[in-house]
Amino acid sequence: MEKRVIELDTATISKIAAGEVIERPASVVKELIENSIDANSTQITINIQEGGKKAIEIIDNGVGIPHDDVILSLQRHTTSKIKTADDLFAIHTLGFRGEALSSIVSVAIVDIYTRTKEEELGTHVIIEGGTTTLEEQTSIPIGTRILVKNLFFNVPVRKKFLKTTATEVNHITEYVTKLALSHPQIAFSLKHNEKSIITVPKGDLLSQIATIFGNNIAKACFPVNNMEESYFLKGYITKPEYSRKSRDYIYIHINNRPITDKIITNAILKGYGTSMPDKRFPIVFLFINLPADEIDVNVHPTKREVRFNNETKIFRLVETGVRESLEKSGLKVFERVEHPHSQTQFIKTTPTSTERLETKPPISLKSGSVTSFEKSSFQLISKRDQPLQKYIHKETEKKSPIHPQTEERRTIRVLGIIKNTYIIAETQEGLLLCDQHAAHEKINYLKYLYQIENKKIAVQQLLAPVSIEIKPSEIELYNELKEKLKTFGFDVDIFGRREVVIRSIPSILGKTISVLAAKDVVDIFKNYATEIRAEIDLKDMSFIKEIISLFACKRSIKAGDRINLHQAESLIIQLLKQKDPYACPHGRPTLIILNAKYLEELFLRDYK
């Protein structure tokens, strides 16, 4: 019988292990910079080429690696940072697993120069795919310089899945940003293809924010301070008017370790309460310090996630700190109350055939409580018993799209408008109900889609171009997207090292754009960058739907807008000329037709 279970060779084991720690060039940068920080460096320089796919160089002025330890440090699970398993519950360094260097050298060509202050000569080592090809002593400054070339040269499958250069630069820059914020005592320099992206001198947290994000955001910051026993919170937050559509401006650090955490993010949003608009996120720089044995950082190979011993305490610390800081700034914060999606309603219970002929005393529709007698004839409804499609006239469903030039034979008589939102009309099919805002949004969406498909986008040049500050990690991304964005009617340019300038927009979106709307547009560009790059069906693009939704409140008839019956009729006719008129871009109903069958059932005319 053929043997099925085999023992993998060392090279294969190393490559598999490397895949858990080294996902992309940013993983290399992360691990090497963390080693430089743990080595007490005060200056760290990062040089990358082609998004780190060709080369990554990290230079520091730390303590260096002793000659006798260099080769040993390249083996798996060798580290100077912990000695026993008990040390895992008192981690004070960024690295501790002893996997970083061994993982990197197994999937790249690595050149290492390092020297300690006790040594006259430093050590130079070259490793190719895990095999040492050179080891010599040489004259070099104190510290460590590591050059990583041809990442994944021996793992072509993983190399194939690397993203675009702009995306890889974005990930690297973002992590350098996080470390620069948490270690203001260290000067950081990041260059891509010899072009400077980040240059941050030593300073304090606020000066780091100003250097990286710009003076406008730094001036908008106000401090957060809170403590509960041995838990300490400090940092800066901004007022709600500086909020963004993307949560990428929320920076959280635990014991100076950058992390992502849903519990803390939710606590931040709860601290803002109703002052933060729905689906928007604040700009926040928060640092939490707590005893090392109160947190487990050994959860994930990349150390992005942590586990807290007391989640409730962490949540309370952050929520209270954020809320009190906002209130001290003069902003009144009200707790957000989550309302149910739809209010429960009492409706008449459908009577049995024998009950239909009985007379019942009339039920008062005046406001106030319902009597116990009246309650007995009502039932609580929490969901629809039948889908809406059951009541849409079948001929209407199957009807082919009506071309704008064809004669419209459907007769529509608008009967009225409820709450300046819902149009009621009579048609051959039955009673038509239309959401005026959703209907107009769908019409504008289809017009924009038609212009893009036919490459005839009407563009509105802005008299005053709008400039939006962005962070360094986004520069390469917008540079890459700007040509693609022209096909959607947006003329976007990069100004300096920290600004995106919008010079023109599709005319269907209006003649001007506010700074707040421009921020949202820029965030939408980033959130849907992958979709914008890809050659996919325009009708499947969430990007277009988001853009239309953003401007719908300004360019579309809104719920609550007063329109006359003639305008209402024109809106319905225009909507029914479109293909698939029954849902807005996000799938919400635009109109519902209650056919004769449904009305007969509703008024109990379906019995014999």
Answer with the residue of higher pLDDT: 34 or 393.
34
How far from each other are the two terminal CA atoms of the chain, in whole angstroms? Answer: 76
Binning pLDDT at 50, 70 and 90, where does residue 403 land? very low
Specify the DSSP element, H or E, that contains 604: none
Identify whether the C-beta of residue 77 lies closer than 8 Å to the C-beta of residue 17: no
**What's the pLDDT tens digit per position in 277-334?**
888 899 999 999 998 888 877 665 555 678 888 999 999 999 999 999 999 988 877 6
9 versus 70: the higher-pLDDT residue is 70
How many residues would you count in the chain? 608
Report yes or no: 245 and 527 within 8 Å, Cβ to Cβ. yes
Topology of domain 206-328, CATH: Ribosomal Protein S5; domain 2 (3.30.230)
Most confident of the following: 196-205, 377-386, 556-565:
196-205
Listed in sequence order, the residues at least 6 apart from 111 whose beta carbon sits closer than 8 Å to its beta carbon are: 124, 125, 126, 146, 147, 148, 149
With cut-offs at 50, 70 and 90, classify the pLDDT of residue 252: very high
Q: Which of 244, 245, 261 is nearest to 253 (CA)?
A: 261
The long-range contacts involving 407-414, CB below 8 angstroms and separated by at least 24 positions, are 408/573, 408/576, 408/577, 410/573, 410/576, 412/569, 412/572, 412/573, 413/569, 414/565, 414/568, 414/569, 414/572
CB of 273 closer than 8 Å to CB of 333: yes
214 pLDDT more than 60: yes
* Domain boundaries defined on the chain: 10-203, 206-328, 404-608
pLDDT at 376 (0 to 100): 36
Sign (positive/negative) of CA torsion 354, 357, 359, 363? positive
Which position has the token pair 């005046």? 366
Residue with tokens 């996080």: 178
Which pLDDT band holds residue 149 (cuts at 50, 70, 90)?
Answer: very high
Q: Which residue has the higher pLDDT, 277 or 215?
A: 215
Tell me the per-residue pLDDT of 441-482, one tens digit each, with 9 for 90 and over. 888 888 888 899 888 889 999 989 999 989 999 998 999 999
206-328 and 404-608: identical CATH topology = no
Return the sign of the alpha-carbon dihedral for residues 563, 568, 572, 573: negative
3-state secondary structure 116-149: CCCCCCEEEEEEECCEEEEEEEECCCCEEEEEEE
Residue 533's φ and ψ, nearest 5 degrees, are -70, -35
**94: pLDDT strictly greater than 90:** no
**pLDDT for residue 373:** 35
Output the pTM of the full model. 0.74
Nearest CA-CA partner of 321 in 258, 272, 279, 249: 272
Looking at every residue in the chain, the average pLDDT score rounds to 80
Q: Homologous superfamily of 404-608 in CATH?
A: MutL, C-terminal domain, dimerisation subdomain (3.30.1540.20)
State the pLDDT at residue 508.
Answer: 84
Q: What is the mean pLDDT of residues 198-202?
A: 93
Asked whether 583 and 546 are in contact (CB, 8 A), the reply is no
| 173 closest CA partner among 254, 281, 52, 91 | 52
Who contacts 441 (Cβ-Cβ below 8 Å, separation ≥6)? 548, 549, 552, 556, 584, 585
The CATH architecture assigned to 10-203 reads: 2-Layer Sandwich (3.30)
